[in-house]
Amino acid sequence: MANGRFTWAPITVLDLCLGFACRRPSAAGDYASRVAREIESQTVPPGASGVLLVRAEMKPCVIQTQWTFATSWSRVKYADWVKAQLSPQFSTVRDAPGELAFLRHEPGDTHSLTVETPPMGDSLRVRVTLCVYPD
């Protein structure tokens, strides 16, 4: 009977270790979450509503994160604000009506940020897409 208890002990320990390992976020996931939180805080203005964050890993991006929200700000006011928020970390690569694009280089990565601002009635609906590419 004593041997039966000791046979189950290694299996139980293995199950516990695997359970904790599966719940531990990967280093890439930690990095992606940190970068997304940092940039989200710089692109969502005070008073925005309906913030929705979607994260996906897909090619050609290594990490893609997208968030959407609504604001009562005008396109011009939001565009001026977001450019000021992202400067000097990001360079503006496109400034067109309805779309802004930014780029920054980090050691080992390039971060591409696209901000789309299609009009939606009385409010501005904003979609921000972050793509991280390896250098």
- Which pLDDT value is given to residue 102? 97
- Which pLDDT value is given to residue 126? 94
What beta strand segments (E) does 3-108 contain?
49-56, 63-71, 91-96, 99-106
- Which pLDDT value is given to residue 55? 67
- Which pLDDT value is given to residue 27? 59
Residue among 44, 69, 45 at smallest CA distance from 123 = 69
> What's the Rg (C-alpha) of the chain?
21
Each residue's pLDDT expressed in tens, for the chain with a length of 135 residues: 555 544 333 333 333 333 333 334 455 567 777 888 888 888 889 888 888 777 665 566 778 889 999 999 999 999 999 999 999 999 999 999 899 999 999 888 899 999 999 866 778 899 999 998 887
- Which pLDDT value is given to residue 58? 57
Largest CA distance in the chain: 77
pTM of this prediction exceeds 0.85: no
Q: What is the distance between the alpha carbons of residues 70 and 20, in angstroms, rounded to a whole number?
A: 38
- Which pLDDT value is given to residue 88? 93
Q: Can you list the domains of the chain with their CATH numbers?
A: 2-134 (3.30.310)
Residue among 120, 130, 125 at smallest CA distance from 49 = 125
